[in-house]
Amino acid sequence: MIRRTAFRALTTVAVTAAVALPLTQGAQAAAPDTTAPATAATAATAAPINADDDNPFRWMELDGLRADFQFMCPAGHCAGFWSLVLTDNAAQQKFEGGKFFVYAPATGEFSFFLDTDIAVRTVDHSSQVRLVDTDFMRSHPRVEVRYGDPDDPDRARVVASAATLM
């Protein structure tokens, strides 16, 4: 029970930090995604920005991943944020019998994905792969998205990677 409560608290803090990080790095509220249905609330609170200026992943070598700028509008206040998602080629591979997870092979540490607005350690589908933990990526020279059993990461398949260019 205590472990579950602690995990929920940690998850809440992680999601808050992930969403707030672009804001503290100078990102501004932005226009909603034109592929998503717009509402009066999102249109009224959004202002366009040049998303390319704040891409925290532009100095990384990406293999099977691409930087993606998204908008989240919790409680009617829209905020833009950067994340890494699988490229179309990586996402269209066949995946069965495992889960996606983020792993730093040099240290054996795990990070999280942002699933809608909740930080989760694993996801079931390639379309759910969304990395937002820029602190984790900057503190590890190589981060990998793996597919398989997170309890046995060495046997899991490497689907994509991000390496920090020094």
Per-residue pLDDT band at 163 (split at 50, 70, 90): very high
pLDDT at 23: 41
Alpha carbon of 147 to those of 9, 125, 133, 157: distances in Å? 26, 10, 19, 5
Q: Considering only CA atoms, which of 132, 141, 148, 156 is closest in space to residue 11?
A: 132
- Residue 43: other Cβ atoms inside 10 A: 11
Give every CB contact of residue 157 below 8 A, 6+ residues apart in sequence: 98, 146, 147, 148
pLDDT bucket at 10, cuts 50 / 70 / 90: very low
Question: What Rg do the C-alpha atoms of the chain give, in angstroms?
Answer: 16
Relative to beta strand 60-63, strand 122-123 is unpaired
Residue (of 136, 64, 145) closest to 107 by Cα position: 136
User: 28-37, 56-65, 87-96 — which is least confidently predicted?
Assistant: 28-37
Span 52-75, average pLDDT: 87
Domain boundaries, the chain: 2-164
Its pTM stands at 0.67
Between 78 and 153, whose confidence is greater? 153
Pairing of strands 79-86, 118-120: unpaired
Tell me the pLDDT of the chain averaged across its residues: 77
What was the pLDDT predicted at 166?
Answer: 62
Q: Concatenated DSSP letters for 63-91?
A: ESEEEEEEEE-GGG--EEEEEEEE-HHHH
CA dist., res. 28 & res. 17, Å (int)? 16
